[in-house]
């Protein structure tokens, strides 16, 4: 497991250099997200723009990716992103990452721009740059099918871009199979800017697990630990739509572009239970025993006959509550279109709902759009989505995200844009939950729920239990601000380790306090790699990796002023929901104190800049370029 | 005597008892009334407000 390879690919020069990943780098960063940001931090200077050939696109497998435990089908895709001009980062499930490892590589560090469309073929220690002009214009399903046929192997796994990536839509993603998305950060747009249509891989090489017997025995024990939880049982039946029931009932789901915090009774048709009518079967990513993914079929109506996978909870906001539509058919249809286009449905939905509210407020008119944008009009939703992906008329403007679009629509329109650092927020409404609000605000990749969200905060667990889990006294009340800076800090580090190992967050303590975490990762790493880590060392690696991402953002102009949730959450109270949620909004003074508590916990100063002593403790030096020279 | 299981109340966040197979249940802590779905025959879940 230690003699793994990184390939440095220069698409401009059509050259590849392969090196072994040094053991010291593993001890400092593990793999996946951690190592990806080691390469970007050291090689992408601030003057490099996201679509410049000098920008890097780094594909990384976690240190445990491809092994039979805890949903290790994960792949991390990282770059300087077009939406935030800072950290652009996505984590993808499926089977691409494992296959890349079986082909002998853990990381691909890609720079340059091909003269014409190309794809990479990675096979058992070799990498070829192949022509892809014939694939350009195909959707993500068609591209993967064509690659399997062309290579002549059904077991080829690919990560590809669709039309959105080709058109450099700022929130284009990369896709593997039907629904595995490297969704966030515009990584697909950067891939498109490099004329890189796909990376296809197939491998039969040995992973060289350090102690196979002990690893398998312990991994099976971990899988059983996960499967015994109520969380996993619910997830394997309902998938992530299970989250809808709690969020719309309580009142923390953005509705009609966050004008409301729940649709109330009107949203009942989207309850997770009603998706059961569409489910054909459940599938899973490689290495997963939970099987949370639905394969669905629409039997009747306008979209009858459509068979696809998903949708996830994100789509229930994007083509659901955010646009005032409460129809599973539309959510499933929209999800399938987004997957084919290769676009982050979460960002797309937030941009569309922003446009709808601007239309409601007569900031955008029918003349600007070409048709009416009225809440609940599913045809308007689908048509505007298509126009954005095709960069057609007003879609061309919206395809550049909130910050660029507002320069033409008017800066005042940004008040209605629910984002942080330019990245759209998930449809969660965080104004009643301070820890969630802090988490989206400080997330290095911009507004996001998968960088630190302490979902277990909602359970109001006993404080003695929280102290044992987190190692600090944490208030049980999820509407409190005090101690939540520490809670978010803990989850930032923890999720970094999860992403650096390549295990699934749904099998971590994200939504379930009884799932495996640091204590269980220590033996897993020992049996898999032979390396000894302590829990404390893993926590420090999380801190080191997270601080490097923070430094990258600071170097690129993203500082304290970008660590705030949307202004709307401070000004407009919740209008709906359970009695204790109604009337809640964020308190500015309390938020500020929570932010300071969070900075202090990281060892950062009052402006959120890592202190010299923190960098010294973590062994972080100034960037030193190390992309090998190729001729 | 009927079998009883537990679900978490979305209002007070405490666990409350649900009778086996029940479609409606009331939280004995705060009085909130919920529609119940069953993840497994032994695991109830609050689906939405009743």
Check which CATH number belongs to the domain holding B34 and give it.
2.20.28
Q: Label residue A252 exposed, middle or buried (CB < 10 Å: 0-12, 13-18, 19+).
A: buried
Please state, as a whole number, how many other Cβ atoms lie within 10 Å of the Cβ of residue A113. 17
Return the CATH class of domain A216-247+254-419.
mainly alpha
Runs of H (alpha helix) within A461-563: 463-470, 484-501, 518-529, 535-555
Number of domains present in the structure of chain B: 1
Provide the CA A309 distance to its chain's centre, in angstroms: 18
Mean pLDDT across the stretch A321-327?
98
Task: Report the alpha-carbon distance of residue A205 to residue A182 in Å, rounded.
Answer: 25
Task: Report the alpha-carbon distance of residue B43 to residue B38 in Å, rounded.
Answer: 6
What residues of chain B lie within 8 A of the CB of A272, using their CB?
Answer: 47
CB A79 within 8 A of CB A88: yes
**Which residue from A245, A268, A579 is facing B46, i.e. has the nearest CB?**
A245
Please choose, from the candidates B46, B47, B48, the residue with its C-alpha nearest in 3D space to the C-alpha of residue B14: B46
Beta strand A423-424 pairing with A419-420? antiparallel
CA-atom Rg of chain A in angstroms: 23
Mutate to test the interface with A, among B6, B29, B35, B37 (most CBs of A within 10 A): B37
Q: Label residue A570 exposed, middle or buried (CB < 10 Å: 0-12, 13-18, 19+).
A: middle
The token duo for B24 is: 């409606």
Tell me, which fold does domain A5-202 have in CATH? Aldehyde Ferredoxin Oxidoreductase;  A, domain 1 (3.60.9)
ipTM: 0.93
**Which residue from B13, B40, B47 is facing A459, i.e. has the nearest CB?**
B13
Following DSSP, what letter does each residue of A228-279 receive, concatenated? TSHHHHHHHHH-TTHHHHHHHHHT-B-BTTTTBS--GGGGGGG-GGGGGGGE
The token duo for A608 is: 């959120």
Q: For residue A246, give how far its alpha carbon lies from the nearest alpha carbon of chain B (Å).
A: 7
**Interface A-B: count of C-beta contacts within 8 A:** 39
Q: What is the pLDDT of residue A69?
A: 93
Task: Report the alpha-carbon distance of residue A445 to residue A558 in Å, rounded.
Answer: 10
- Confidence grade of residue A2 (pLDDT, cut at 50, 70, 90): confident
Looking at chain A, which residue has its C-alpha nearest residue B13? A459
- Segments making up each domain of chain A, as ranges: 5-202, 216-247+254-419, 430-618
Mean pLDDT across the stretch A587-607?
98
Task: Report the alpha-carbon distance of residue A36 to residue A187 in Å, rounded.
Answer: 13
A459/B46 touch (CB, cutoff 8 Å), yes or no: no
Q: For residue B48, give how far its alpha carbon lies from the nearest alpha carbon of chain A (Å).
A: 6
Mutate to test the interface with A, among B23, B33, B48 (most CBs of A within 10 A): B48
- Confidence grade of residue A629 (pLDDT, cut at 50, 70, 90): confident
Chain position carrying tokens 């990479």: A120
Q: Label residue A206 exposed, middle or buried (CB < 10 Å: 0-12, 13-18, 19+).
A: exposed
Percent with pLDDT over 90 in chain A: 98
The token duo for A45 is: 């200077």
The token duo for A179 is: 């629904």
Q: For residue A515, give how far its alpha carbon lies from the nearest alpha carbon of chain B (Å).
A: 18
Please check the confidence at residue A446 and state whether its pLDDT lies above 70: yes
Region for A256 from its dihedrals, namely left if φ exceeds 0, alpha if ψ lies in -120 to 50, beta otherwise: left
A246/B11 touch (CB, cutoff 8 Å), yes or no: no
Task: Report the alpha-carbon distance of residue A143 to residue A162 in Å, rounded.
Answer: 8
A246/B46 touch (CB, cutoff 8 Å), yes or no: yes
pLDDT tens column, A179-238: 999 999 999 999 999 999 999 999 999 999 999 999 999 999 999 999 999 999 999 999
Task: Report the alpha-carbon distance of residue A232 to residue A452 in Å, rounded.
Answer: 20
Please check the confidence at residue A414 and state whether its pLDDT lies above 90: yes
Mutate to test the interface with A, among B9, B39, B41, B50 (most CBs of A within 10 A): B39
Q: For residue B11, give how far its alpha carbon lies from the nearest alpha carbon of chain A (Å).
A: 7
Mutate to test the interface with A, among B47, B49, B50 (most CBs of A within 10 A): B47
pLDDT tens column, A30-39: 999 999 999 9
Q: What is the pLDDT of residue A535?
A: 98
Looking at chain B, which residue has its C-alpha nearest residue A250? B10
Tell me what the pLDDT averaged over chain A comes to.
97
Tell me, which fold does domain A430-618 have in CATH? 1.10.599
Looking at chain B, which residue has its C-alpha nearest residue A264? B49
Task: Report the alpha-carbon distance of residue A76 to residue A89 in Å, rounded.
Answer: 7
pLDDT tens column, A448-481: 999 999 999 999 999 999 999 999 999 999 999 9
Task: Report the alpha-carbon distance of residue A564 to residue A594 in Å, rounded.
Answer: 11
Provide the CA A179 distance to its chain's centre, in angstroms: 13
CA-angle at A33, arms to A119 and A603, nearest 5°: 150
A249/B45 touch (CB, cutoff 8 Å), yes or no: no
**Buried/exposed A121-160: b ≥16 CB within 10 Å, e otherwise:** bbbeeebebbebeebbebbbbebbebbbebbeeeebbbbb
Torsion angle of C-alpha atoms A440, A444, A449, A450, degrees rounded to 10 = -160
pLDDT tens column, B1-50: 568 899 999 999 899 999 999 999 999 999 999 999 999 999 999 999 99
Q: What is the pLDDT of residue A212?
A: 97
pLDDT tens column, A169-191: 999 999 999 999 999 999 999 99
Q: For residue B39, give how far its alpha carbon lies from the nearest alpha carbon of chain A (Å).
A: 6
Mean pLDDT across the stretch A115-132?
98
CB A507 within 8 A of CB A69: no
The range of the structural domain enclosing residue B16 comes to 4-49
Q: How far is CA A456 from CA A10, A88, A491, in A?
A: 43, 26, 11
B47/A234 touch (CB, cutoff 8 Å), yes or no: no
Q: Which residues of B touch A (CB under 8 A)?
A: 8, 10-11, 13, 37, 39-40, 43, 45-49
The token duo for A617 is: 């403790």
Q: How far is CA A542 from CA A106, A225, A520, in A?
A: 19, 24, 16
A273/B47 touch (CB, cutoff 8 Å), yes or no: yes
**Which residue from B37, B43, B49 is facing A230, i.e. has the nearest CB?**
B43
Q: What is the pLDDT of residue B1?
A: 53
Torsion angle of C-alpha atoms A397, A398, A400, A403, degrees rounded to 10 = 100
Task: Report the alpha-carbon distance of residue A147 to residue A199 in Å, rounded.
Answer: 10
Please state, as a whole number, how many other Cβ atoms lie within 10 Å of the Cβ of residue A370. 14
A233/B11 touch (CB, cutoff 8 Å), yes or no: no
A233/B8 touch (CB, cutoff 8 Å), yes or no: no
**Which residue from A233, A245, A459 is facing B47, i.e. has the nearest CB?**
A245
Mutate to test the interface with B, among A230, A326, A463, A466 (most CBs of B within 10 A): A230
pLDDT tens column, A365-379: 999 999 999 999 999
Half-sphere CA count of A444, side-chain side, radius 13 A: 29
Mean pLDDT across the stretch A436-440?
98
Mean pLDDT across the stretch A549-574?
98
CA-atom Rg of chain B in angstroms: 10
Q: Which residues of A touch B (CB under 8 A)?
A: 230, 233-234, 237-238, 242, 245-246, 248-250, 265, 268, 271-273, 458-460, 578-580
């Amino acid at each position: 497991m230690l003699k793994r390879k990184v390939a440095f690919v220069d698409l401009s020069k059509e050259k590849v250099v392969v090196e072994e990943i040094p053991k010291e780098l593993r001890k400092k960063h593990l793999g996946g997200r951690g190592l990806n940001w080691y390469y970007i931090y050291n090689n992408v200077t601030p003057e490099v723009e996201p679509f410049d050939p000098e920008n890097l696109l780094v594909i990384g497998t976690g240190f445990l990716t491809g092994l039979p435990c805890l949903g290790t089908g994960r792949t991390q895709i990282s770059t300087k992103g077009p939406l935030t001009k800072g950290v652009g980062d996505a984590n993808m499930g499926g089977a691409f990452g494992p296959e890349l490892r079986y082909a002998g590589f853990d990381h691909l560090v890609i720079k340059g721009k091909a003269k014409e469309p190309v794809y990479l073929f990675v096979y058992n220690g070799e990498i070829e740059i192949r022509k892809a002009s014939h694939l350009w214009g195909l959707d993500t399903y068609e591209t993967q099918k064509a690659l399997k046929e062309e290579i002549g192997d059904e077991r080829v796994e690919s990560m590809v871009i669709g039309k959105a990536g080709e058109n450099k839509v700022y929130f284009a993603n990369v896709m593997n199979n039907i629904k595995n998305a490297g969704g966030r950060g515009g990584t697909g747009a950067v891939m498109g800017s490099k004329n890189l249509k796909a990376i296809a891989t197939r491998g039969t090489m040995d992973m060289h697990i350090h102690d196979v017997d002990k690893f398998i025995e312990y991994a099976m024990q971990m899988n059983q630990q996960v499967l015994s939880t109520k969380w996993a049982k619910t997830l394997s039946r309902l998938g992530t739509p299970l989250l809808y029931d709690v969020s719309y009932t309580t009142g923390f789901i953005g509705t009609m572009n966050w004008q409301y915090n729940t649709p109330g009774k009107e949203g009942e048709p989207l309850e997770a239970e009603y998706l059961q009518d569409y489910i054909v079967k459940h599938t899973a990513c490689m290495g997963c025993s939970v099987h949370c993914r639905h394969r669905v079929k629409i039997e009747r109506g306008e979209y009858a006959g459509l068979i696809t996978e998903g949708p996830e909870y994100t789509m229930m906001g994007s083509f659901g509550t955010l646009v005032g539509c409460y129809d599973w058919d539309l959510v499933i249809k929209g999800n399938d279109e987004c997957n084919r286009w290769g676009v982050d449905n979460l960002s797309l939905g937030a941009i569309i709902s922003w446009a709808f509210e601007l239309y409601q407020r007569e900031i955008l008119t029918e003349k600007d759009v070409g048709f009416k944008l009225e809440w609940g009009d599913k045809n308007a939703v689908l048509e505007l989505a298509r126009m954005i992906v095709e960069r057609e008329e007003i879609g061309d403007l919206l395809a550049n995200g909130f910050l660029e679009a507002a320069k033409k629509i008017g800066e005042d329109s940004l008040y209605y844009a629910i984002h942080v650092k330019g990245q759209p927020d998930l449809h969660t409404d965080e104004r009643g939950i301070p820890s969630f609000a802090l988490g989206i605000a400080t997330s290095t990749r911009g507004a996001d729920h998968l960088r630190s969200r302490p979902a277990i905060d909602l359970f109001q667990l006993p404080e003695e239990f929280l102290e044992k889990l987190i190692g600090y006294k944490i208030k049980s009340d999820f509407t409190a601000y005090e101690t939540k800076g520490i809670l978010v800090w803990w989850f930032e580090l923890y999720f970094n380790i999860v992403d650096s190992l390549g295990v699934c967050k749904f099998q971590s303590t994200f939504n379930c306090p009884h799932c495996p975490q640091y204590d269980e990762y220590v033996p897993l790493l020992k049996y898999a790699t032979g390396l000894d880590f302590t829990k404390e060392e893993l926590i420090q690696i999380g801190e080191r990796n997270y601080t490097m991402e923070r430094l990258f953002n600071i170097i690129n102009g993203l500082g304290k002023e970008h660590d705030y949730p949307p202004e709307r959450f401070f000004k407009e109270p919740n209008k709906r929901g359970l009695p204790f949620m109604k009337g809640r909004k964020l308190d500015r003074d309390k938020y500020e104190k929570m932010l300071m508590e969070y900075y202090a916990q990281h060892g950062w100063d009052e402006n959120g800049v890592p202190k010299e002593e923190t960098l010294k403790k973590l062994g972080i030096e100034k960037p030193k370029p190390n992309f090998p020279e190729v001729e | 005597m009927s079998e009883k299981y537990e679900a978490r109340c979305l209002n007070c966040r405490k666990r409350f008892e649900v009778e086996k197979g029940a479609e409606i249940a009331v939280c004995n802590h705060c009085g909130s009334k919920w529609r119940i779905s069953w993840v497994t025959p032994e695991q109830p879940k609050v689906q939405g407000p009743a």
